[in-house]
């Protein structure tokens, strides 16, 4: 069985749009493309290298696929990211399958989530997401993500495409690894840990004021 790993660069307020450069994805008027670059260091480089140093195939939405397909095939093959990205299978969610020209690209079909669920049951390397917020939202809503690898940068972007949306399936998470870079980037790995648990700090016998507060909320 294959695992689905969501790896993302994330701002502190949850934005993951256009980390790599100003022209990467300016849709919606996003003005901060390239926000990752000033905060990189050896720790973040090592975290990225660890993710791409293991066997994987890519799960991509169409917009991220187009960004990658216009970049990585034109980078020297000995580049530590370009080499694997060009060689692995790219499973792509798209309505335009005939235009998938990057080598080793495969259409996920008319029901991408159902096809990904089938892929999980096969033998093979991990299925790694990069960017692809729309696809990632669907995977999270379906409860298909087995691991989150997040690099959270100490920056607030205010608006932009976010990792989580209102359709994300509620779940508890277990922190399985963490470190902090010299520039304040938090590198953290999470796995699902069952349903969300709740408790209460409230008094066992609510005060009259508390009872009135609750009535006012109805």
Q: State mean pLDDT over 199-218.
A: 93
Residue 192 has pLDDT above 90, yes or no: yes
- CB crowding 158-186: b at 16 or more within 10 Å, else e: eebbbbeeeeeeeeeeeeeeeeebeeebe
d(CA 178, CA 31): 30
Residue 77, pLDDT score:
86
The structure's pTM equals 0.93
Q: Read out DSSP for 34-85?
A: TTTGGG--HHHHHHHHHHHTS-EEEEEEHHHHHHHHTTGGGS-TTSTTHHHH
Q: In which band, very low, low, confident or very high, does the pLDDT at 101 lie, cut at 50, 70 and 90?
A: very high
d(CA 138, CA 113): 7
Distance of CA 213 to the CA centre of its chain: 39
Kindly report, residue by residue over 32-83, the tens digit of the pLDDT. 999 999 999 999 999 999 999 999 999 999 999 999 999 999 999 899 999 9
Options 3.30.70.260, 3.30.470.20, 3.30.360.10, 3.40.430.10; CATH of 4-217: 3.40.430.10
**Nearest residue to 122 (alpha-carbon basis) of 41, 24, 203, 3:** 3
**Nearest residue to 18 (alpha-carbon basis) of 141, 153, 131:** 131
Share of the chain above pLDDT 90, in %: 98
Q: State mean pLDDT over 91-107.
A: 97
Residue 143, pLDDT score:
95
């Amino acid at each position: 069985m294959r695992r689905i790993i969501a790896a993302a660069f994330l701002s502190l307020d949850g934005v993951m749009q256009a980390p790599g450069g100003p022209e990467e994805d300016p849709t919606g008027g996003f003005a901060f493309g390239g926000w990752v670059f000033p905060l990189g260091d050896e720790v973040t480089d090592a975290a990225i290298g660890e993710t791409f140093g293991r066997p994987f195939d890519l799960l991509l939405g169409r917009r991220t696929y187009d960004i990658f397909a216009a970049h990585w095939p034109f980078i020297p093959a000995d580049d530590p990211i370009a080499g694997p990205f060009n060689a692995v299978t790219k499973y792509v969610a798209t309505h335009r399958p005939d235009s998938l020209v990057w080598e080793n690209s495969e259409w996920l079909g008319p029901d991408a989530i159902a096809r990904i669920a089938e892929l999980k049951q096969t033998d093979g390397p991990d299925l790694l997401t990069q960017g692809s917020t729309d696809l990632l939202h669907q995977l999270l809503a379906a409860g298909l993500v087995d691991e989150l690898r997040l690099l959270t940068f100490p920056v607030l972007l205010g608006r932009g495409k976010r990792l989580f949306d209102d359709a994300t399936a509620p779940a508890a998470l277990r922190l399985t690894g963490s470190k902090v870079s010299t520039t304040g980037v938090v590198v953290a790995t999470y796995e699902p840990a069952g349903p969300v648990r709740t408790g209460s700090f409230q008094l066992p016998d609510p005060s009259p004021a508390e009872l009135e507060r609750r009535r006012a909320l109805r």
